[in-house]
Amino acid sequence: MPDQAAVLAANRAFYAVFRRRDFGAMKAIWASRSPLSCIHPGWPPLFGPEDVLGSWQGILSHRETPVIECRDERVVMIGPAQALVVLVEVISGNALAASNVFVREDGEWHIVHHQATPMAEAFVTAGGEAEPEPEPDSGPGRLLH
């Protein structure tokens, strides 16, 4: 399988285990030898398998499975064994802009970093579609960035 397709498959597997709240499978998707980090919406950064996987164990232990859709996934190869996937997550009707960093360990792609940032409602139509061309000055990011 070409690298980009393999990375996209690993990224889809990440959301599939999220959907079915399978912590064992989630653990296997994260890298086992590389340093791990994760930034959940609103949280400070988490580092290392204990804190990162512990956060996912907590998240996946909730009884209600949110509806999770992924849109506009873009895979960027940043090295021969390193890739970045940028996408829009739609979770229970909330849109988040997300990045996932993958590395290849023993021929398989594993996630080493995840970050999700809630998108402002102004950028999401009633149908949840992201608008393509916001004006830099009009976004909520203007205040912070």
Contacts of 38 (CB under 8 A, 6+ apart): 45, 46, 51, 52, 55, 56, 113, 114, 115
Residue placing its CB nearer to a copy of itself in the complex, 106 or 137:
137
* Options 5, 9, 28, 86; binder of a copy of itself; rule CB under 8 A: 86
Distance of CA 76 to the CA centre of its chain: 14
Closest CA to 41 of 110, 121, 95, 101: 95
Q: Does 17 bind a copy of itself (CB under 8 A)?
A: no
CB atoms within 10 A of CB 123: 17
State the nearest-atom distance from the C-beta of 33 to a copy of itself, in Å: 12
Nearer CB in complex with a copy of itself: 24/62: 62
Q: Quick check: 63 binds a copy of itself (CB under 8 A)?
A: no
**Stretch binding a copy of itself (CB under 8 A), from 2-10, 22-30, 111-119:** 111-119
116 binds a copy of itself (CB under 8 A): yes
